[in-house]
Amino acid sequence: MAKTLAVSPLAPAAFPQLPVIGGVEFAVAEAGVRYAGRTDVMLARLVPGSTVAGVFTRSATRSAPVLDCQDKLGGDQSPGAAIIVNSGNSNAFTGRNGVEATQAVTSAVADVLDLPDARVFSSSTGVIGEPLRHDRITAKLDELTASLSPDGIADAARAIMTTDTFPKGSAASVDLPGGRVQIAGIAKGSGMIAPDMATMLVYIFTDAQIGFDALQQMVSEISDATFNCITVDSDTSTSDTLLMAATGASGVQVEPGDDAFRAALHKVMLDLAHQVVRDGEGATKFVEINVTGAESDADARTHALAIANSPLVKTAIAGEDPNWGRIVMAIGKSGAAADRDLLTIRFGDVLVAENGWVSPDYREDQGAAIMKQSEISINVGLGLGQGAATVWTCDLTHGYISINADYRS
Amino acid sequence: MAKTLAVSPLAPAAFPQLPVIGGVEFAVAEAGVRYAGRTDVMLARLVPGSTVAGVFTRSATRSAPVLDCQDKLGGDQSPGAAIIVNSGNSNAFTGRNGVEATQAVTSAVADVLDLPDARVFSSSTGVIGEPLRHDRITAKLDELTASLSPDGIADAARAIMTTDTFPKGSAASVDLPGGRVQIAGIAKGSGMIAPDMATMLVYIFTDAQIGFDALQQMVSEISDATFNCITVDSDTSTSDTLLMAATGASGVQVEPGDDAFRAALHKVMLDLAHQVVRDGEGATKFVEINVTGAESDADARTHALAIANSPLVKTAIAGEDPNWGRIVMAIGKSGAAADRDLLTIRFGDVLVAENGWVSPDYREDQGAAIMKQSEISINVGLGLGQGAATVWTCDLTHGYISINADYRS
């Protein structure tokens, strides 16, 4: 049973007003997969012609639903599609039983919605290694189908939560030559994987009309700059899944490479990614790390992730300690190119270190003032080239230890 | 000022009785580099003909004393040598000033002991980025020289401590065809780098006679299987240093590839490495991770370190939670080859998971009983090949957060 956790201090003030996306309907149910007294299954039905693209965990031990989704991407979109998600059990590392459970759920959804199996995508999130009670999900399919509604997306955002302390949603609209299109997305994740619990799941819907190849490419590219640039604890879920569906209900065509649509989708995905970090387990600080002047973008990302994942950097931030020595350490260990004596380090706008040493103008109280804020930027210049990267993370606190050490047994 | 921390629950019962190593003398002093009321400088003098080998941090931002030691390895050994170490200040990321401070200290030692500068090795450990008050060290050199003594190694082990909660020493003797030789070593480190504080420093002495090339090769190879197989928090010091000196005072020659000497040295280095893990900040569990059946030894090590460094695995161990799902997760994310359905996972001797799922005979109370022990082994079989690796780590507790977040500012 998931403990009720206090809402993250970094949570947005409220769940946003999400627009209705033509061509999608949602329903939720209390199936009792693991939790009692809350919704734990969500169903989304997509009209015929909807394209579905996806991005998934790269884990070598990924779950049966993830493998099933990957198999199904790019299939015939004429009959429509559905997405079924449960929380409470991840159906990961469940052997042959896991494959059977995924088949049982997706086939039953296909039957009740009159779709081919190949157009039913599923996700599961929750405890690893326990058999998924798929009968509890299929028992609710008639109820779910009967209650499908175009404005159920906020309820869907709640049904997929596990250790999340707030539901996550984001939306954008774009005026294209053919008319206005809408994008709305929901996500769950406390920024980590886990057993008892977590995993990141993201579902994004648009009424724009986009071919599969163009949608898949756009989603893959933007994921690299958003969801693949956040880290809470460096651990990778066996179940991470992002699915994006374009229903075409607006009748407005998006061409591959349309900049306005891409920018709007980027905004939605970045907002959802940031919300996942803001719900990082035990998080009290939202941290942006910018690395510039690296030999390559890949090197910049390696340095940025080394800083973001360093337990010593993360605990210093938790302690509001402007401990720039730990930034130097993280850069040194990352494995990417760096020259100690060319480094510059800024907390916010405050120049802390340069020329291989603390800046002569820096005063510790300046750094300490930055560290007291709830949103912090750490800016590193390497002085070697043009490579740049930005990643987002949170601090490492007693709350993280409490959630993950004091939890299960 | 370093806080006084409670002695680690994983500490050995007592500091071992270390033998006198012919050809080495030690002295310690209270120089007040940063700490008051305790020794913080140690000096070791080595007789003419002593070989000195070393292994150092691979950090790209390594400290001035590390770079200086690396330059000096392999020089003419006829005049003898010295090692000078201070705690309280790491002289790391101190720019040009850091180079000057290292020169000032090593030159002064060279003068007082009548050695060439090139035979004086130095280390500094403590806060990063603050100027080293080298005058406080050099002011103590006459006192240090006057008190050099063959049996001062235990005092030396104490003088180099920073956040360590106990001094670390280990010894072995070897009977070779030419006679008996002794090995004695000391180390400091709480398994992490840091600012306010830590770093791993190791000094090993033997009265055997060994050429530089043979000694360097042996030390490098054994380090790879000992000090490079421990991790506390995945962070790498800018100052890690291991120096080994062979005085030849026993008159007993060790040939390159001598198995008995190598085995004895391996035992001393492994013991010291384990003591560093046992003093890991906040540690309550000593954990051995064995990975077998990997495609290569390198893959096995990648998996083992992914498990050892995973915050979710480490917090599960802290919580005495037999959470094997997190082991699966760590293997999945490591990037090395793995097949979910061929994995076996054992806690101690208890088979937990096999064939891509929990073992049918496994009961959670068996795993829970293992997790209550203070020494835990996690044994993973990949079923792919012959690659194997062992690493050692500790758990991640509230104590770690307290030491590193609640500390400096």
Residues 6+ away with beta carbon under 8 Å from A60: B331, B332, B333, B334, B337, B338, B339, B340
Set of chain A residues whose Cβ sits within 8 Å of the Cβ of B352:
none
Q: Are B129 and A341 an interchain contact pair (Cβ–Cβ within 8 Å)?
A: no
Assign A316 to helix, strand or coil: helix
Q: Establish, for the pair of chains A and B, how many residue pairs have beta carbons separated by less than 8 Å.
A: 254
Set of chain A residues whose Cβ sits within 8 Å of the Cβ of B324:
129
Q: Are A234 and B311 an interchain contact pair (Cβ–Cβ within 8 Å)?
A: yes
Residues 168-227 of B with CB under 8 A from A: 192-196
Assign A278 to helix, strand or coil: helix
Q: What is the Cα–Cα distance from B209 to A110, expressed in whole angstroms?
A: 78
* Ligand-binding site membership of B241 (annotated): no
DSSP-assigned letter for residue A6: P
Residues 6+ away with beta carbon under 8 Å from B7: B165, B166
Nearest CA of chain A to the CA of B81: how many Å?
Answer: 29
> Given pLDDT bands bounded at 50, 70 and 90, which one contains residue B1?
very low
Q: What is the Cα–Cα distance from B384 to B344, expressed in whole angstroms?
A: 11
DSSP-assigned letter for residue A193: -
Token match 């309907």: residue? A25
Residues of B assigned a catalytic role: 199
Q: Are A94 and B356 an interchain contact pair (Cβ–Cβ within 8 Å)?
A: yes
Name residue B188's amino acid: K
Model pLDDT, residue A357: 87
In which element (H, E) is residue A129 found?
A: none
A110, B25, B143, B166, B183 from B203: Cα distances, Å: 68, 13, 22, 16, 11
Q: Are B311 and A400 an interchain contact pair (Cβ–Cβ within 8 Å)?
A: yes
Distance of CA A388 to the CA centre of its chain: 22
Q: Are A326 and B192 an interchain contact pair (Cβ–Cβ within 8 Å)?
A: no
DSSP-assigned letter for residue A209: B
Q: In a mutagenesis test of the A interface, which of B93, B398, B406 is the best target, namely the one with the most A β-carbons within 10 Å?
A: B93
A324 touches chain B (CB under 8 A): yes
B119 touches chain A (CB under 8 A): no
pLDDT per residue over B33-61, tens digit each? 998 999 999 999 999 999 999 999 888 88
Nearest CA of chain A to the CA of B409: how many Å?
Answer: 5
B359 touches chain A (CB under 8 A): no
Set of chain A residues whose Cβ sits within 8 Å of the Cβ of B405:
315-316, 318-319, 321, 395-398
Q: What is the Cα–Cα distance from B208 to B266, expressed in whole angstroms?
A: 15
Any bridge partners for residue A377, and if so which? A288
Q: What is the Cα–Cα distance from A404 to A3, expressed in whole angstroms?
A: 12
Nearest CA of chain A to the CA of B174: how many Å?
Answer: 37
Tokens of B323: 């959470």
- What are chain A's domains? 24-278 (3.60.70.12), 286-405 (3.10.20.340)
Nearest CA of chain A to the CA of B111: how many Å?
Answer: 29
Catalytic residue list contains A302: no
Token match 């406390």: residue? A190
Q: Is the pLDDT of residue B124 over 60?
A: yes
CA atoms within 13 A on the CB side of A243: 28
Q: Are B270 and B223 in contact (CB under 8 A)?
A: no
Assign A55 to helix, strand or coil: strand
Q: What is the Cα–Cα distance from B243 to B44, expressed in whole angstroms?
A: 12
Residues 33-92 of B with CB under 8 A from A: 57-62, 92
Which strands sit side by side in the sheet containing A241-246, from one edge to the other? A51-56, A241-246, A201-206, A179-188, A168-176
B308 touches chain A (CB under 8 A): no
Q: In a mutagenesis test of the A interface, which of B97, B235, B320 is the best target, namely the one with the most A β-carbons within 10 Å?
A: B235
Q: What is the Cα–Cα distance from B162 to B4, expressed in whole angstroms?
A: 10
Per DSSP (E only), the strands in A39-178 are 41-46, 51-56, 81-89, 120-127, 168-176
Nearest Cα to Cα of residue A217 among A255, A268, A175, A172: A255
Q: What is the Cα–Cα distance from B407 to B409, expressed in whole angstroms?
A: 6
Q: Which of A199, A206, A226, A393 is catalytic?
A: A199
Nearest Cα to Cα of residue A302 among A275, A337, A326, A271: A337
Mean pLDDT of chain B: 91
Model pLDDT, residue A194: 35
Q: Are A129 and B194 an interchain contact pair (Cβ–Cβ within 8 Å)?
A: no
Q: In a mutagenesis test of the B interface, which of A89, A93, A100, A372 is the best target, namely the one with the most B β-carbons within 10 Å?
A: A93
Average pLDDT over residues B297-307: 94
Set of chain B residues whose Cβ sits within 8 Å of the Cβ of A384:
none
Angle made by CA atoms A126, A129, A132, in degrees to the nearest 5: 65
Q: Are A358 and A324 in contact (CB under 8 A)?
A: yes
Q: Tens of pLDDT along chain A (409 residues)?
A: 345 678 999 999 999 999 999 999 999 999 999 989 999 999 999 999 999 999 998 888 889 999 999 999 999 999 999 999 999 999 988 888 999 999 999 999 999 999 999 999 999 998 888 899 999 999 999 999 999 999 999 999 999 998 889 999 999 999 999 999 999 999 998 755 433 335 789 999 999 999 999 999 999 999 988 988 888 777 777 788 899 999 999 999 998 878 999 999 999 999 999 998 899 888 999 999 999 999 999 999 999 999 998 988 999 999 999 989 889 989 988 889 999 899 999 999 999 999 888 999 999 999 999 999 999 999 999 999 999 999 999 999 988 888 888 654 3
Any bridge partners for residue A286, and if so which? A375, A394
Assign A98 to helix, strand or coil: helix
B179 dihedral zone (left: phi>0; alpha: psi -120 to 50; beta): left
Model pLDDT, residue B260: 94
Cβ atoms within 10 Å of B341's Cβ, excluding its own = 13
Distance of CA A227 to the CA centre of its chain: 5
Model pLDDT, residue A195: 34
* Ligand-binding site membership of B226 (annotated): no
Model pLDDT, residue A198: 52
Model ipTM value: 0.84
Q: Are A316 and B127 an interchain contact pair (Cβ–Cβ within 8 Å)?
A: no
* Ligand-binding site membership of B404 (annotated): yes
Q: Are A328 and B94 an interchain contact pair (Cβ–Cβ within 8 Å)?
A: no
Secondary structure of chain B in the HEC alphabet?
CCCCCCCCCCCCCCCCCCCCCCCEEEEEECCCCCCCCCCCEEEEEECCCCEEEEEECCCCCCCHHHHHHHHHCCCCCCCCEEEEEEEEECCCCCHHHHHHHHHHHHHHHHHHHCCCHHHEEEEEEEECCCCCCHHHHHCCHHHHHHCCECCCHHHHHHHCCCCCCCCEEEEEEEEECCEEEEEEEEEECCCCCCCCCCCCEEEEEECCECCHHHHHHHHHHHHHHCHHHEECCCCCCCCCEEEEEECCCCCCECCCCCHHHHHHHHHHHHHHHHHHHHCCCCCCCEEEEEEEEECCHHHHHHHHHHHHHCHHHHHHHHCCCCCHHHHHHHHHHCCCCCCHHHCEEEECCEEEEECCEECCCCCHHHHHHHHCCCEEEEEEECCCCCEEEEEEEECCCHHHHHHHHCCCC
Nearest CA of chain B to the CA of A3: how many Å?
Answer: 16
Set of chain A residues whose Cβ sits within 8 Å of the Cβ of B97:
357
pLDDT per residue over B3-33, tens digit each? 567 899 999 999 999 999 999 999 999 999 9
Average pLDDT over residues B104-118: 98
Higher-confidence residue of B41 and B332: namely B41
Q: Are B319 and A236 an interchain contact pair (Cβ–Cβ within 8 Å)?
A: no
A52, A216, A260 from A256: Cα distances, Å: 15, 10, 11
Assign A228 to helix, strand or coil: helix
B191 dihedral zone (left: phi>0; alpha: psi -120 to 50; beta): left
End-to-end CA distance of chain A: 11
In which element (H, E) is residue A97 found?
A: helix A95-113
* Ligand-binding site membership of A281 (annotated): yes
pLDDT per residue over A59-77, tens digit each? 888 899 999 999 999 999 9
* Ligand-binding site membership of A404 (annotated): yes
A380 touches chain B (CB under 8 A): no
Q: What is the Cα–Cα distance from B75 to B78, expressed in whole angstroms?
A: 9
Closest-CA residue of chain A to B239: A329
* Ligand-binding site membership of A290 (annotated): no
Average pLDDT over residues B366-393: 96
Q: What is the Cα–Cα distance from B112 to B96, expressed in whole angstroms?
A: 25
Q: What is the Cα–Cα distance from A85 to A44, expressed in whole angstroms?
A: 9
End-to-end CA distance of chain B: 11
Q: What is the Cα–Cα distance from A156 to A162, expressed in whole angstroms?
A: 13
Closest residue to A328, CB basis, from B128, B357, B368: B128
Q: In a mutagenesis test of the A interface, which of B63, B200, B302, B333 is the best target, namely the one with the most A β-carbons within 10 Å?
A: B333
Tokens of B117: 């500068």
